[in-house]
Structure 1
């Protein structure tokens, strides 16, 4: 049986994860994410895949983040009729994120048409809430750590990998070979999640490399940095705004800020989580205790300390309040979401602080501000940017270089081929070099749309 892989996303970039594994008569798409960041990548979201959606038999999801699931409504729109397999938490998160994304898409298109700042006449959402909900009937929940038969001589297993609730690495057995897709690998000492489980065997490895060239400080080491940053900002009379992914990252920040407040290390000021999906994600944490470390008592303590905002009317009220506060809002890379509504009015206040606690992809508003941009474009307007910008990398949900190498330590064999994905070029090259130095393993760095024969 011949086997091919085509890299339809997350090749040379950290977004748009899509990997098409083909056996001639059967096609499996591992992840189905949206591109974010650079315009030429984002424009790909508006087009069908290189392979007709109707020809794809199955979708497997490593986890629920937008860059791994956000293209699903379009895949269905273009004719996909198969099944989408994932763990129960991943399905729940994907439904929440797709609905939220569609809601943002519709609102931004409506505003663009009303204020005439889009070059498109009329501006249209990438997909609608109805199209997002059309995906739901295709989901099938898969238990973790159990082999599932797909067809004769082909099976799949989903195994816990940290990162966010429900996240797994995916193993596919076919033609006597094991194909392993790492997804996004979590941290070894995460404050919320358990350490990633590790693969024991792999013939063809598709390994993320987001932080392939960096080492993170420990999460406990960065908490004093957050304490100092909050106190400095509040002492000036400013507010702290934290762009955050609404799943895991926002909850981790809630736990950290709650602990600092409980220990009287930061002032008692309003703390807000502004996300339409905030309540849904918190409810999901309550239902999925096997997937995280958070105890029931701590969970309810944390929730009581925060104001959870879901209505847009409340957002517009809070963004104009002048008293010091801490606001956690999506999206994590400033590519959209409620955080932009706050920055629209608060970006020019030099007393405020914008704190990044997650990866900022190349070309995103977040990356541009970290690189020193003095203005930000929001809803068609250019807004001068005078806030203090800070970044704390130790809170990343992605494994660093040492943790990526550690994830491979239980392998009983050397992979035949290794492909480094989900990383910008420098990060992938750094990990490629380290694999060669430490293990004498050769790794390949594919480019977008590469089609490679794995088994003749």
Structure 2
């Protein structure tokens, strides 16, 4: 058996792990690279194996960094089956369509305004290419093993993190391989706690927050303080957010604050149509989360939902104080950039970062104190106040990751740390070795191992 790390190592993006066994090829996740330019350029490269020779793709969940390269895989010849939970299937369709649409719009704008270094800017993939993925997606039932081959089976079990997210237990050649995917928190506001694996010969564990402990923050208090102080200055609160799960948590917390009369009666806006679509999925999958239906309905009525770009423009030029939630969460694209283009250089603006900011992204640059950001071919000064709320992360921290391992009945032969930047992965490596005494490795991009 051969395992090759094609993405999601040394970085939190581009997750792809290839398993080859007895002529069968399985790809666990098929994510898009984001952030640093040298990583983004990998999206345009072909895989070291022909996509047509891959038999199965197993998706842990529907975030872009885990499913966003599927249109490229299919366009390059993949004809196999994509397995995931029903909620992941629905979210993946939304994510891919949104990604393709944004890429088409950005390529069109780059060509119109001539800020691309290429003679003709083109999207990585189109809406039509995204839609070509859909017939290949097959939904499975959680905690029920599915045969991929007479000698190979896969079992999906809840990971928390976002709606439908799972870890995957792959059984082949008498070995058990466990892929964590992204692990959620035990006490998330909306998501159920992750299920912990009981056995594993080899573990492939995410390490996004491997070097950090989430602070004990009273998130609602911080949100209330930011909204009220910005309102007093006559400013706008911009909250870049992933449209899946984080946007819904933000809506829920702001709705609670409004119900408690702790924030002002100003416009509260969700400018991510996909975020509203995901809210409908919460209604479709009530057993997959903690949010009661009546509260889901109530918080939806509080927000103005923007469905087209004309409404976005009207909102941007609305001078009233307001709170806007818009994608993308790391400022790598999406409608949040249109807001930043106008509001970033205003000192009365507040920007609230609520999720992990990968290396090389605009969000990371803001956290590191950047004085200007490049958008649409120009540099915009940063005069807004930037806040970070770590308590809203959808990822387990170092403690949570260690606890996720504590029910494994015997020491794995090896544990590989993936989906983390190098410092985070190395800190977690040391902590796992100290806590459990297990063998831990941090793979490199493109590296392989034989089991």
TM bucket by the smaller chain?
A: over 0.9
Q: Distance between the aligned counterparts of 1:369 and 1:299, measured in 2?
A: 32
Say which SS state the counterpart of residue 164 (structure 2) adopts. coil
Q: Distance between the aligned counterparts of 1:301 and 1:446, measured in 2?
A: 46
The aligned counterpart of 2:291 is: 294
Match 2:304 to one of 304, 307, 326: 307
The aligned counterpart of 1:340 is: 337
Match 2:261 to one of 259, 264, 273: 264
The aligned counterpart of 1:360 is: 357
Say which SS state the counterpart of residue 185 (structure 1) adopts. coil
Q: Distance between the aligned counterparts of 1:28 and 1:170, measured in 2?
A: 12
Match 1:426 to one of 423, 427, 430: 423
Say which SS state the counterpart of residue 61 (structure 2) adopts. coil
The aligned counterpart of 1:232 is: 229
Residues 261-286 of structure 1 deviation map (CA, whole Å, 9 limit, x = unaligned): 11011111100010131331111111
The aligned counterpart of 1:139 is: 137
Q: Distance between the aligned counterparts of 2:402 and 2:409, measured in 1?
A: 14
Shift of 1:322: 1.2
Shift of 1:218: 4.3
The aligned counterpart of 1:216 is: 214
Q: Distance between the aligned counterparts of 1:422 and 1:29, measured in 2?
A: 15
The aligned counterpart of 1:69 is: 67
Say which SS state the counterpart of residue 324 (structure 2) adopts. strand
Task: Write out aligned runs for 1:408-419 (5 A).
Answer: 408-419=405-416
Match 2:152 to one of 135, 151, 154: 154
Contact 1:278 1:310 (8 Å CA) reproduced: no
Say which SS state the counterpart of residue 8 (structure 1) adopts. strand
Q: Distance between the aligned counterparts of 1:28 and 1:153, measured in 2?
A: 13
The aligned counterpart of 2:398 is: 401
Q: Distance between the aligned counterparts of 1:174 and 1:312, measured in 2?
A: 49
Match 2:105 to one of 104, 107, 111: 107
Contact 2:413 2:439 (8 Å CA) reproduced: no
Say which SS state the counterpart of residue 440 (structure 2) adopts. coil
The aligned counterpart of 1:382 is: 379
Structure 2: gaps of 5 or more residues: none
The aligned counterpart of 1:350 is: 347
Match 1:47 to one of 45, 48, 56: 45
Contact 1:100 1:276 (8 Å CA) reproduced: no
The aligned counterpart of 2:200 is: 202
Structure 1: gaps of 5 or more residues: none
- The answer to whether residue 185 in structure 2 is matched with residue 187 in structure 1 is yes
- The answer to whether residue 370 in structure 2 is matched with residue 373 in structure 1 is yes
- The answer to whether residue 441 in structure 2 is matched with residue 447 in structure 1 is no
Residues 5-64 of structure 1 deviation map (CA, whole Å, 9 limit, x = unaligned): 100001111000000011140100000000000000000001111111011110000000
Q: Distance between the aligned counterparts of 2:272 and 2:307, measured in 1?
A: 6
Q: Distance between the aligned counterparts of 2:69 and 2:117, measured in 1?
A: 23
The aligned counterpart of 1:323 is: 320
Q: Distance between the aligned counterparts of 1:85 and 1:209, measured in 2?
A: 24
Match 1:97 to one of 86, 95, 98: 95
The aligned counterpart of 2:246 is: 249
Q: Distance between the aligned counterparts of 2:118 and 2:258, measured in 1?
A: 47
Deviating beyond 3 angstroms after TM superposition, the runs of 4 or more aligned structure 1 residues are none
Tell me the number of residue pairs that the alignment of Structure 1 and Structure 2 aligns: 451
Residues 374-407 of structure 1 deviation map (CA, whole Å, 9 limit, x = unaligned): 1111111211111001101111000001100111
Contact 1:162 1:187 (8 Å CA) reproduced: yes
Q: Distance between the aligned counterparts of 2:433 and 2:171, measured in 1?
A: 26
The aligned counterpart of 1:123 is: 121
Say which SS state the counterpart of residue 441 (structure 2) adopts. coil
Say which SS state the counterpart of residue 273 (structure 2) adopts. coil
Q: Distance between the aligned counterparts of 2:358 and 2:106, measured in 1?
A: 21
Say which SS state the counterpart of residue 241 (structure 1) adopts. strand
Contact 1:277 1:310 (8 Å CA) reproduced: no
Contact 2:248 2:275 (8 Å CA) reproduced: no
Q: Distance between the aligned counterparts of 1:227 and 1:254, measured in 2?
A: 13
Compute the RMSD of aligned alpha carbons. Answer: 0.8
Shift of 1:217: 2.7
Say which SS state the counterpart of residue 52 (structure 2) adopts. helix
Scaled by the length of structure 2, the TM-score of the pair is 0.99
Q: Distance between the aligned counterparts of 1:370 and 1:119, measured in 2?
A: 27
Contact 2:60 2:167 (8 Å CA) reproduced: yes
